[in-house]
Amino acid sequence: MARRGKKKGRPVSGWLVFDKPVGMGSTEAVSKVKWLFNAEKAGHAGTLDPLASGMLPIALGEATKTVPYVMDGAKVYRFTVAWGEERSTDDLEGPVTKSSEKRPSEEEIRAIMPKYTGVIMQTPPQFSAIKIAGERAYDLAREGETVDIPAREIEIGRLDMVENSTDRTVFEIECGKGTYVRSLARDMGRDLGCYGHIAELRRVEVEPFTAEDFVTLGELEAAAPAPIAKGEDGDSEAPVLVDMKARYAGLDALLVDTGAALECLPQVALTDDAASRIRLGNPVIIRGRDAPVEADEACATVRGKLVAIGAIEAGMFKPKRVFAA
């Protein structure tokens, strides 16, 4: 039997709420953060297009187990719609496919905005990651195919107008999982009879994180440790004793605790003994006057540190996913 290779990187865990700059892809951002932190494992909660900026929550280590909870959280975007042109990608990247001399008045725009709030049906863009017969829609679109993408139900909590001029309007939207802001610009432009596309897009919140949690690329690079010095003979392979915790302290201080992603779940505080039992996969009886009796999902902690996600049945916590101490 082949031996498993040793994991590369540090077992660091937590959320990095990255302020992704325009021009950087989401996968590129995750790779950059993983490299800077020298992390064993990394992933992100919700892709941002290269032309978009803003909040890209990146999970390191044990936090990758909580990605689905952040993916399901509400998101807030601020975006600018340029009126008069529709583009193949519904943003600045693609060529113009339709154009109009008409420009909508503020009254006309405000009149259609209620149509785009609440639970609505939305057709994703041709250039999207939606799978059609096993292939990504953007791959088919790049080959020149026009595919029939079925409309999907989405929920938009609010849509506000922030600024308005003759050619452009700035909006802010709070929406649920699966919403395409590019489709919103496209559809509003069609409804107004003038066409439209996204000129700027920035994600400002991903529940439970806020703008106060933002960390920029510059802040990351400033906190990154200097390269390890070579041995006296100049051999980079020469052994060097390094305090890894101290070496990465500046970067690690920028992380949000893994458990922050689970604030949406009922919280169960455990004793040290109960936490030890949970980590071995055993259920424990929940004690305390305010302890929940039933819950499909709950979060168990000890002294504020995440221990497990599980179900509560008849006053007993049963672990489903355990986190390293």
Residue 133 CA neighbour count, 13 Å, CB half: 4
Contacts of 259 (CB under 8 A, 6+ apart): 299, 301, 304, 305, 306
Q: Which of 292, 297, 291, 287 is nearest to 261 (CA)?
A: 297
Alpha-carbon Rg for the chain, nearest whole angstrom, is 24
185 burial (CB, 10 Å; 0-12 / 13-18 / 19+) is buried
Classify residue 194 by its DSSP letter.
S
Burial 13-33 (b: 16+ CB within 10 A, else e): bbbbbbbbeeebebeebbebb
| DSSP helix, strand, coil percent of the chain (3-state; round to 5) | 25, 35, 40
Handedness of CA 200, 205, 210, 214 (dihedral sign): negative
Residue tagged active-site, from 49, 91, 187, 213: 49
Angle at 215 between CA 213 and CA 221, to 5 degrees: 155
- Whole-angstrom Cα distance, residue 92 to residue 261? 33
Q: Which two tokens stand for residue 233?
A: 């003979």
49 is catalytic: yes
The token pair at 181 is 């802001």
Q: How far apart are CA 298 and CA 220, in angstroms?
A: 33
Question: Do 14 and 63 touch, CB atoms closer than 8 A?
Answer: yes
Catalytic residues: 49
